[in-house]
Amino acid sequence: MGLSRIAALAFALTLLPLPAQAGDVAVRAARLHTVSGGVIENGVVVIEDGVIVAVGPASEVSVPAGVRVLEAAVVTPGLVDAHTVVGLSGYLNQPHDQDQLERSAPLQPELRALDAYNAREALVEWVRSFGVTTLHTGHGPGAVVSGETMIVKTRGDTVDEAVVVPRAMIAATLGDAATGEDGESAPGTRGKAAALLRGLLVEGRDYVAKKAGEEGSKVPTNLRLEAVARLLSREVPLLVTVQRHHDIATALRIAGEFDLRLVLDGAAEAFLLVDEIRAAGVPVVVHATMKRATGDAESLSLETAGILDGAGIPIAFQSGYESYVPKTRVVLLEAAIAAANGLSRDRTLHALTLGAAEILGIDDRIGSLEVGKDGDLALYDGDPFEYTTHCVGTVIEGDVVSETRR
């Protein structure tokens, strides 16, 4: 074959459509909820190489040749579970798959969620089948400081494939759940728990000062205090699981004393401190709506989310932690209850997606259907907040990771 014919053939090949790659997909929806840009009737989302490249009405968005096309009645951004222990807590409910809480000491901020997360845990697949694409997971409530949290996508066979943010927050607890059940083991009382937390922060502050001094190079590295240093520098927030109003007040007080970024978790009695929470500029990951109203959460309300959102306080939803099998709630169902108790459907979806992403600091990547963001979508055969609706597909960065009708 002559050089001219080879050149002509090569040019012709460049005009042929390239085969679809992994991470390339288009989704058509009778109703497309972008969250950031409203609702598009008969909408289309096009994802290439895992990233959204086009969003809009079907009449305006062309689907590239060879790309797989999915269809659904309703499509939303992938859902975000703003606090869970899935991946550390497993469905078998046996000691070997319950790594969410280390009980040997009340203060262990150095424990890394990255070292405990099991990407192949069946609960990850379970929540993914309901449209949950992102988890904020890690060490759970039950110790004054229980360890780090992380942010992952609900896919991958290893933690490295799943991780989005390896160090997201440091988890703490105040109130009944932080005190010793026998009345003797530390911390025992609310005052002791608060004192332990303050003491740790003071110790961390002294450590930072020594490291910054002339003899800083001689100060031995302390993993526990390195974790505290990230709190004091505001690199990561302190996530405090707290329910009663006076414990919420303690969390706000300590955060103010040490200039910490604070995220309240649970906050069953937050309705008693709306003005204080709003003034502090603190977001709330609302307690699981159908959490049992017992112990320090006995005053929880199905209307908590609506009350806080109505007051202008940023909120997100969580599945939380359940001590019984199957060990997790489904955040979509928790949100649906809030949507029936004072929170509009639009605001409920916002809290499940973009609102959660904003609290977690990853709204540049997820939470809404916008060009340039990750191609994470949830597909439904009806209104996601109706009990009779099914999730019929989940897409993460353009990969169809679930087609189970759940």
Tell me: do 252 and 326 sit in the same domain: yes
Question: pLDDT category, 326, cuts 50, 70, 90?
Answer: confident
How far apart are alpha carbons 276 and 8 in whole angstroms? 72
Span 191-208, mean pLDDT? 97
How far apart are alpha carbons 125 and 211 in whole angstroms? 44
Tell me: do 111 and 180 sit in the same domain: yes
Per-residue pLDDT, 12: 40
β partners of residue 135: 81, 152
Tell me: do 203 and 342 sit in the same domain: yes
113-130: pLDDT as tens digits: 999 999 999 999 999 999
367 pLDDT higher than 90: yes
Tell me: do 146 and 61 sit in the same domain: no
Tell me: do 347 and 375 sit in the same domain: no
Tell me: do 135 and 13 sit in the same domain: no
How far apart are alpha carbons 56 and 46 in whole angstroms? 9
Span 364-390, mean pLDDT? 98
Per-residue pLDDT, 22: 66
CATH of residue 269: 3.20.20.140
70-91: pLDDT as tens digits: 999 999 999 999 999 999 999 9
Please give the mean pLDDT across all residues of the chain.
93
Tell me: do 50 and 101 sit in the same domain: no
Question: pLDDT category, 10, cuts 50, 70, 90?
Answer: very low
Span 229-243, mean pLDDT? 98
How far apart are alpha carbons 398 and 376 in whole angstroms? 7
CB atoms < 10 A from the CB of 223, how many? 11
Per-residue pLDDT, 245: 98
269-293: pLDDT as tens digits: 999 999 999 999 999 999 998 888 9
Grouping H, G, I as helix, E, B as strand and the rest as coil, residue 388 is coil
Tell me: do 4 and 87 sit in the same domain: no
22-79: pLDDT as tens digits: 689 999 999 999 999 999 999 999 999 999 999 999 999 999 999 999 999 999 999 9
Question: pLDDT category, 17, cuts 50, 70, 90?
Answer: very low
Share of the chain above pLDDT 90, in %: 87
Comparing 186 with 344, which gets the higher pLDDT? 344
The number of folded domains in the chain is 2
216-228: pLDDT as tens digits: 899 999 999 999 9
Tell me: do 270 and 342 sit in the same domain: yes
How far apart are alpha carbons 21 and 24 in whole angstroms? 6
Per-residue pLDDT, 49: 97
Structural domain containing residue 149: 79-366
6 pLDDT higher than 50: no
pTM above 0.85, yes or no: yes
Burial 129-146 (b: 16+ CB within 10 A, else e): bbbbbbbbbbbbbbbbbb
CATH of residue 60: 2.30.40.10
Comparing 2 with 100, which gets the higher pLDDT? 100
Radius of gyration for the alpha carbons in the chain, expressed in angstroms and rounded: 23
Per-residue pLDDT, 1: 47
Per-residue pLDDT, 184: 52
2 pLDDT higher than 90: no
Per-residue pLDDT, 125: 97
* Phi then psi dihedrals of residue 345, to 5 deg: -60, -40
Tell me: do 291 and 387 sit in the same domain: no
Short-list 81, 63, 78, 69, CA closest to 33: 78
Tell me: do 381 and 277 sit in the same domain: no
Tell me: do 26 and 101 sit in the same domain: no
Per-residue pLDDT, 21: 64
Comparing 355 with 322, which gets the higher pLDDT? 355
287-315: pLDDT as tens digits: 998 888 999 999 999 999 999 999 999 99
Span 370-390, mean pLDDT? 98
Cis peptide before 187 (omega within 30 of 0): yes
